[in-house]
Structure 1
Amino acid sequence: MTDNPTSPGSVPSHFPVHDGPRVWVISAGTSPIGISLARQLLSHGDIVVAGVPEPNPEREDPRSADFEALLGELFAQGVGCRDRMKPVVIDIRSAAPEDLIENWTHLVLGKPRERMMNECQIIVAEAINVFGRVDVLVCCTSQAVIGTVEELAASERTRLLVKDQFESNYFGPVNLIKAVLPQFRKQKNGHILVVGGITGHIGTPGLGVYCAAGWALEGFCDSLTYEIAPFNIRLTILQCSLEIGILTNLITSVPPILTAYSPSTNYAPLFRGIMNGLLSRLPNLQGSYSQSPEAAPEPNPSASPVSPSASSTTSTNTKSYTNNGTNPCAYACRQTEDTDADHDEEPISSSCNEPLSAPTVVSIYPPLSPAHLDVLIAETIHAITAIGGHENPPARHIVGAEGIEAVKEKLKTVTEELEDFIECSSAVDINVDPDAGSLRASGASGGGGRGGQGSNAGVRDEG
């Protein structure tokens, strides 16, 4: 086992003890987490099968350049493993497995559209055909839709974004998990790592649909954990801080059409305002911005029932600001609201300091510098490498001290509310009358069912 080289400011990885290289499948290979994780896994001696999305001609993903840089590193330097590793980037459907397995570590590019079950099965099958097994599955695909619940119901386009949020953050990971389970059961071994956030435990105003998708995935995983335990399959949910899932992935904001939710009239700390304050301070914001001033086309009934992605829900005439030097905020302020909206209120005006408050749907990859990203995701990468493949991993792991404090505060609130209303919770007990052999509702005071003097004294025994 080799030492793990680390970049300045990053946290060194602590891998669990294991025999030989492990095969990791990473759902989002081009994401900052996917790239950083792949780099550390490869330097450690493991094998990586990375999911790479197909190019989208309507929106340039700036993260693709970072992934290409990783491939360049592997070819040029071998990530510090020149003496025992030959990184290989191939189309595994046309290459002989012997050409790959002779090396300690490899990078294989799968191209899954995660929402399509057959594509998920393909990437798992490719990993098995080339390397013979899958040891760890990392589900780290995510995107965020920002808007209040009412704003997200204002038009057909925003309703499609709600569906797309669940397709990306819930159904995508679920499909990938279902695709790998048969192999894990066959091996009687495997570990599933779901990279989520504390938003799967704590609600955030303005991120309702994002939180809902996270909660749904956590509920699915909690139930699945019991079902797969007899097969020696482990599942861990990583609850990262809020900024991990938001700042490292695509953000889509719907128009702030309701004045009732403007900062001047609503004291709730809506997430749009928080993100506006952060993004407006980033020097590289221009060039990461994309808007769609036109209405989304009606769904094609002959097409696949799977909802389009956030990038495809915008018009085919989506204007990109990658190369033309246009000020995106100035352009946003000149646009009109969506033509398909079925609301009566005017959109709240935005300024150049509020990139997510435009009167149209806005999509953006937060333009953080590599140094900022390295610091931002260091704790998450450390957690994944320290827990992934562990013989006895936690079912849920909170990443970072801030996340721990937030969850503690939430649990404290739940406990306090439980104590405040505990009498109401136990006011009516359902008991079995041994003499009559029937059920009886008894009051909180412990008296009989008839005329009990508890807080529900009116409940009568119908036995």
Structure 2
Amino acid sequence: MTDDPSPSPLAPGSGPLPPSSQFPNHDGPRVWVLSAGDSPIGISLTRQLLAHGDHVVTGITPSNPEREDPRRVNFDAFLEELSAEEGQNGYRERLEPVELDIRMMSDCQVAIATAVAKFGKVDILFCCSSQAIIGAVEELAVSERTQALVRDQFETNYFGPVNLVKAVLPQMRKQKSGHIMALGGITGHIGTPGLGVYCAAGWALEGFCDSIAYEIAPFNIRVTILQCNIEIGILSNLVTSVPPLYPIYSRSINHAPLFRGIMNDILSRLPGISGHVETPVQSPMSGPSPASLSSTSTGNPETHHERSSVDSDLYPLSAGNIVSLYPPLSPAHLDVLTAETIHAITAIGGHENPPARHIVGAESVASVKEKLKTVSEELEDFIACSSAVDIGADENAMRVVSEETTAQASS
């Protein structure tokens, strides 16, 4: 098998592939398990893996009768694409979709068992499931419904990947090899106003990965965290916004760059999304909005008046209800959005000595550099404060101070 740096698309119109993609050298096909194979990144990555000759067990989000998931539609179209090419390359034979709710440990165990039963091993586990809850911390605490969203954020973005890691470790230890990859973002390193819970779940996952990497290194199992631009995780997955607290967190009063405003500015420019909405907004890709996702109101009779006075906040995610949607980006836009990340995944996945952390993109690197600069400046104050309370750091200095104090008292 050859390592072709620029494999051809599976079918016309399937989107351009990064021309510089390069897989690590290896002796035979690798077996990948993807946690969200029906996501834009999952589909694009699977396309490249199959073209390269690898095997893929890809997790598919279970159907939700209350909402038509555009990702399931796109994945079905992808399967049809593979079937059309079946006689030429056997792509479909090397792909095994499984329904996977990563919040359920039993589903995670079934996915790993399926990979072992069909392909004999698991070389690379790629955790890429994500969703984003948008809202200030106070806004996320106003009702049982919003607090449930907070818990679900952690169930999906933190406990889900942890479940998959725990499910795959026995197999990788048995093999004495393996590579675990977790797709995160710079939000796992940098706090973002309006994404507090999303960031918290990302930080939790990174702390888990950093810690377990030391524990499993003796078994020749590697761990890599990929930190992408914030748009990767947000614009390619489900976004849920809770009702704003007006006027407290309106732009005219609170000048913090809340992420709701940033997303509103983006969504208002996309076809099919109209600004100035009072009812839940749906993506044209997602079908009817379920009442169950849009039933929570602020209960404030002055909400509409306050919103009307702040034109810049009258956008999809500023409705007085909980709003859930998939940003309606076209497949071509998603290909461009995720191309750099896909290249990073294929270049690192299965590498003999992969990086423990890989920051994807110049923008992400610049953001992390700025964060580290701030931390370095704060460290000087931290050292000074710590030294001031470390009474045992310099016994001689303490004795001198004591003697001087005694002498002053005597005089």
TM-score range, shorter chain: 0.7 to 0.9
1:216 equivalent among 201, 204, 216? 204
2 CA distance for matches of 1:383 and 1:65?
26
Deviation, structure 1 residue 421:
4.3
Q: Could you tell me which residue of structure 1 aligns to residue 307 of structure 2?
A: 349
1:24 equivalent among 21, 32, 53? 32
Q: Could you tell me which residue of structure 2 aligns to residue 103 of structure 1?
A: none
Deviation, structure 1 residue 422:
3.0
Cα deviation 1:314-345 (Å, max 9, x = unaligned): xxxxx96759999x9xx9xxx99627x6x897
Contact 1:26 1:137 in 2 (8 A): yes
State the TM-score, normalizing by the size of structure 2: 0.87
Q: Unaligned stretches of 5+ in structure 2? A: 10-14, 406-411
Deviation, structure 1 residue 414:
0.5
State the TM-score, normalizing by the size of structure 1: 0.78
Distance 1:447 1:291, change over 3 A: same
3-state DSSP class of the match of 1:392? coil
Distance 1:290 1:32, change over 3 A: farther
Q: Could you tell me which residue of structure 1 aligns to residue 180 of structure 2?
A: 192
3-state DSSP class of the match of 1:397? strand
3-state DSSP class of the match of 1:125? helix
Deviation, structure 1 residue 451:
4.1
Q: Could you tell me which residue of structure 2 aligns to residue 12 of structure 1?
A: 20
Q: Could you tell me which residue of structure 2 aligns to residue 40 of structure 1?
A: 48
2 CA distance for matches of 1:210 and 1:150?
14
Contact 1:151 1:254 in 2 (8 A): yes
Q: Could you tell me which residue of structure 1 aligns to residue 408 of structure 2?
A: none
Q: Could you tell me which residue of structure 2 aligns to residue 121 of structure 1?
A: 109
3-state DSSP class of the match of 2:397? coil
- Equivalent positions of 1:46-125 (< 5 A) are 46-78=54-86, 83-88=88-93, 106-125=94-113
Deviation, structure 1 residue 258:
3.7
Cα deviation 1:268-311 (Å, max 9, x = unaligned): 0100000000000001337xx9977xxxxxxxxxxxxxxxxxxx
Q: Could you tell me which residue of structure 1 aligns to residue 409 of structure 2?
A: none
- Equivalent positions of 1:48-447 (< 5 A) are 48-78=56-86, 83-88=88-93, 106-285=94-273, 338=297, 346=303, 349=307, 354-429=315-390, 440=392, 442=394, 447=397
Distance 1:325 1:178, change over 3 A: closer
Q: Unaligned stretches of 5+ in structure 1? A: 89-105, 293-318, 431-439, 458-463
Contact 2:85 2:91 in 1 (8 A): no
2 CA distance for matches of 1:373 and 1:219?
29
3-state DSSP class of the match of 1:246? helix
Identity %: 64
Distance 1:174 1:158, change over 3 A: same
How many aligned residue pairs are there?
388
Deviation, structure 1 residue 453:
10
1 CA distance for matches of 2:374 and 2:325?
35
Deviation, structure 1 residue 9:
6.5
3-state DSSP class of the match of 2:126? strand
Contact 1:257 1:359 in 2 (8 A): no
Distance 1:290 1:211, change over 3 A: farther
Contact 1:112 1:119 in 2 (8 A): yes
Q: What amino acid is aligned across from residue 370 of structure 1 in structure 2?
A: P
Q: What amino acid is aligned across from residue 205 of structure 2 in structure 1?
A: L
3-state DSSP class of the match of 2:22? coil
Contact 1:128 1:134 in 2 (8 A): yes
2 CA distance for matches of 1:76 and 1:397?
36
2 CA distance for matches of 1:210 and 1:453?
54
2 CA distance for matches of 1:13 and 1:245?
21
Deviation, structure 1 residue 37:
0.3
2 CA distance for matches of 1:176 and 1:345?
46
Contact 1:170 1:214 in 2 (8 A): yes
Q: What RMSD in Å do the two structures reach over aligned CA positions? A: 2.9
